[in-house]
Amino acid sequence: MQGFVQQITRGARAAVAIAAVALVVFAFGWRGYRWITKKSDADGRTVIRVLHWGDKGEDDIVRRLVEDFEQLPENKDVKVLRINLGQAALVRTKLQTMFAAGDPPDVFYLGLENVSDLARKNLLADVESLIADDKARNIPTVNLDDFFPAVVKCFRVEESTGQVGRGKLVGLPKDFTTVGFYYNKDLFKRAGVPEPSPTGWTWEEFITAARAIAKLPGCYGADFVSWEQMVRIYCWTHHIDFASPGWSQPYHFNDPLLHEPLKKLQDWFHAEKRTLVSAKTQLETMQEPFLAGNVGMTGPYGRWKAPIFQQIDSFDWDLAPLPQVKGLEPRNGVFTVAWGIAQAGKHKSESWRFVKYLAGARGQALMADAGLAIPVLRKVAEAAVEAERTKQPKNAGVFLTAADHAEPTDFPPDPEFQQQLRVGLEEIFKLGRPIESVLKRVEREWTENSRRADVATDERVVPWVAVISGVAIPMGLIVAVVGVLWWRNRPRGGDLAEEVAGMGMISPWVIGFMAFTAFPVLLSLVLSFCRWSSLTTLEHAQFVGWDNFRSLFARDATFYRALRATTWYAILTVPTGQIAALIAAMLMNRESRWMGVFRSIWYLPGVLAGVGMAVMWKWVFHHEHGLMKAVLDPILPAALHMPACFEKDAEAWGVPAFAFINLWAIGGTMMIYLAGLKGIPKDLYEAAAIDGALGWKRFRNVTLPMLSPVLFFNFIMAIIGSFQVFTQAYVMTGGGPGHSTRFYVVYLYNQAFDFHEMGYSSAMAWLLLLIILTLTLIVMKGTKRFVYYEALKS
């Protein structure tokens, strides 16, 4: 039997080894094949790089567009290289690194959320001047009159302020949508409420229908997407906005006219059970509640939802226009994406030719096929709606009529404003905080921001030559002096050979350290005294002295909140993680064939990474449909119930939930403890047994001291790790709702990659380094007495 098992194990190992070798051979072979076949299709054509996003459906469209474009005889000299990153947020990160390096893509998707930011830094080509050039040279060109005016307006930006709505045209719209509500016809019938009229209805009718449907067993009135743009459009229908056009001052945050509709919406969310639920969180947990058939309405959504709802066959549905306020002119919002051309691009004329093709009738018709959005050319759009008369939604024309009274859903020009507003609205609609105080804070933050932006306009360009020589010359001198001293005191004979060999053999690390660590770290140290928007190149950095550190400590409330959340996380996660790992290791410290299987299983979650895991955990903690709720609610006493960790109760439970999730990552620590336990000599235990020490006593007097160096190592690693907590929180909550899970590095990442404040974030990174260093030193000093280093000598 034993032999048989061994043979199988050996056979399996051999199979794995062979498979691995085969895969490696295949990989190199495939790459080689691709490399050989690739040479033939580059052949001297101009390559333009196109950066876009989108899932499979959208990717197919862009691919088809590119192929079609390349086939046209006049484009024989152009090759389009597509870069698709799937998610819009990834495209923005990528775009930023490319701009920062002075190497932008030629053509890219330009969303409303970063159009003013990019335009303000003068990074986008002027479309109208390209059109004028064409006209001067008598080349067929784009006629802006064919476009929906509301859509073109979205990409006119005042370059000095970043305000959207007028000024230079910085992108050519690709497609757009307005919003409405998708509704379940069957539920309306069952609840006995009249269906919304395709020509318009009011919020009163909307909420009456939602309440009636919520009364049906197991049904929800409506799923309302509380994205800040959607809430803004809701306010627009009440003819009020958060700020003046283009997000300029005066702000209306303290206007009772704004508070009133918001209060109404907040009450629908919180005071009436099941009338209105937040659709946003359900989206993130990957379910589409509308498909289940027990949700009356869902929205405000644009055209992009139609393809997925077309799969529905269990009930009848349609599209309703956005509800309005009785007696007021209707309002709606435009969601749109444009093709932007980089001002600094090297192949502007080819890029423009490509964009022109995309905006032409042929490109637009191809795009309309996907049905995710509406073509920007009025004629093509109308034809598309006409052609799809038979398809659902029957009322698709609603999207087009709304375009006549729709406004750009532009974002505040400064991305930091965007986040502060989003945080405020999350606090109102998810955490149920009082509207007045939250909005008052947002206004204070905004005023603070604009003051900071005004102060930092004095041009003090960093003297890079002086900085670099100021670092390089002393460094060079030190190296030279050390070298000379070394040579003078060099040992003789065999010792010299050994010294040379030793230094030679550590030189890989030393060189790597200088190139890949020391240089970037020094650069970031310099940057922490600068203000540098990473959308521009390094020459534009301005020296600001201690300003970054001063505003961190004196003004930045979010910084303190992030620090507090991180400390709280560290306090929770370090002991629980260590204790759990130690217990698991002690359980596994026995001789059995099965232990190998257990070890592997316990380590398994460490291997599972990426988007899939984030989706799963969100579902586990979901406040309505989550696994934890389903399991715990029946067990817990009636007064207690599972808190909504990433929703209403996030303030108290968000951080603990992450600490809990961290227990799935103890595998690595556990392995190290296990190894430490195995290293304790058996005779020590035997001696202890003779002295009568068993159980707790034995653990306290033998295991713990012998394990103390390992314990110490793991403890320090855990502290460092917990202060650097990032990926899980960034992917799952992005720091929200509110600021409740905004850990230090999440905020640092926000500053660097969302607000583009590289200087500020470098200052934060250095501060984090100091914090970690101090903590480590304190722990080292404090535990000196308890660590039994003799254990190492066994």
CB 203 within 8 A of CB 190: no
Answer for the pair 767, 652: CB distance below 8 angstroms, yes or no. no
Nearer to other proteins, 52 or 252 (CB): 52
For the record, the structure tokens of 309 come out as 């709802």
**Cis previous bond, 250, omega within 30:** yes
Please, which residue, 201 or 301, has the CB nearer to other proteins? 301
Helix H or strand E segment including 436: helix 435-455
**Minimum Å distance from CB 670 to other proteins?**
10
Encoded tokens for 384: 């598309």
Query: In the bound complex, what is the minimum distance in angstroms from residue 450's beta carbon to other proteins?
Result: 26
Q: Which of 6/249 has CB closer to other proteins? A: 6
Give least dist CB 52 to other proteins, A. 10
CB of 179 to other proteins, least distance (A): 13
Q: Residue 49 — φ and ψ, nearest 5°?
A: -100, 130
| Residue 64 vs 168, nearer CB to other proteins | 64
Element (H, E) at 551: helix 547-554
Q: What distance in Å separates the CA atoms of residue 91 and residue 93, rounded to the nearest whole number? A: 5
User: For residues 623 and 629, is the Cβ–Cβ distance under 8 A?
Assistant: yes
- CA dist 679 and 702 (Å) reads 12
> Of 170 and 541, which CB lies nearer to other proteins in the complex structure?
541
Can you tell me the distance from the alpha carbon of 502 to that of 480, in angstroms, rounded to the nearest whole number? Answer: 19
With respect to other proteins, which residue has the nearer C-beta, 315 or 713? Answer: 713
Shortest spacing between CB 580 and other proteins, in angstroms? 9
Nearer to other proteins, 19 or 132 (CB): 19
Exposure string for 422-447, b = 16+ CB within 10 A, e = fewer: bbbbbbbbbbebebeebbebbbebbe
- Min dist. Cβ of residue 661 to other proteins (A): 10
Contact 311, 152 (CB under 8 A): no
Instruction: Indicate the residue among 450 and 537 with the shorter CB distance to other proteins.
Output: 537
Neighbours of 42 (CB within 10 A): 10
Burial class (CB in 10 A: 0-12, 13-18, 19+), 555: middle
Which residue, 325 or 720, is less far from other proteins as judged by CB?
720
Q: How far is the CB of 496 from other proteins (least distance, A)?
A: 10
The helix (H) or strand (E) run that includes residue 684 is: helix 682-690
Closer by beta carbon to other proteins, 60 or else 260 = 60
Nearer to other proteins, 16 or 257 (CB): 16
Amino acid 301 reads: Y
Nearest to 658 by CA among 717, 743, 579: 743
Q: How far is the CB of 723 from other proteins (least distance, A)?
A: 8
Q: CB-wise, 193 or 525, nearer to other proteins?
A: 525
Question: Which residue number, 516 or 560, has a Cβ lying nearer to other proteins?
Answer: 516
Burial bucket for residue 743 (CB in 10 Å: 0-12, 13-18, 19+)? buried
Distances (CA, A) of 234 to 264, 330, 409, 535: 11, 11, 12, 33
Angle between helices 361-368 and 378-387 (to 10 degrees): 40
- Give min distance, CB of 535 to other proteins, in A: 12
Show the tokens assigned to 55.
């899932």
Q: How far is the CB of 169 from other proteins (least distance, A)?
A: 23
Cis before residue 300, ω within 30 degrees of 0? yes
Q: How far is the CB of 347 from other proteins (least distance, A)?
A: 16
For residue 565, what are its two tokens?
């959340």
Nearer to other proteins, 253 or 743 (CB): 743
| Contact present, 528 and 548 (Cβ < 8 Å) | yes
Least distance in angstroms from the C-beta of 88 to other proteins: 5
User: For the purposes of burial, counting CB atoms within 10 Å of the CB of 315, is it exposed (0-12), middle (13-18) or buried (19 or more)?
Assistant: middle
CB of 604 to other proteins, least distance (A): 6
Phi-psi region of 74 (alpha: psi -120 to 50; beta: other; left: phi over 0): alpha
Write down the least CB distance from residue 326 to other proteins, Å: 32
Are residues 355 and 339 in contact, defined by beta-carbon separation less than 8 angstroms? yes
Check residue 47 and report its DSSP letter: E
- As a whole number of angstroms, the distance between CA 285 and CA 24 comes to 36
Do strands 374-375 and 171-177 pair parallel, antiparallel, or not at all (unpaired)? Answer: antiparallel
Instruction: Indicate the residue among 198 and 668 with the shorter CB distance to other proteins.
Output: 668
* Residue 304: CB minimum distance to other proteins, A: 7
What is the DSSP code (8-state) at residue 700?
I
Alpha carbon distance 160, 157 (integer Å): 9
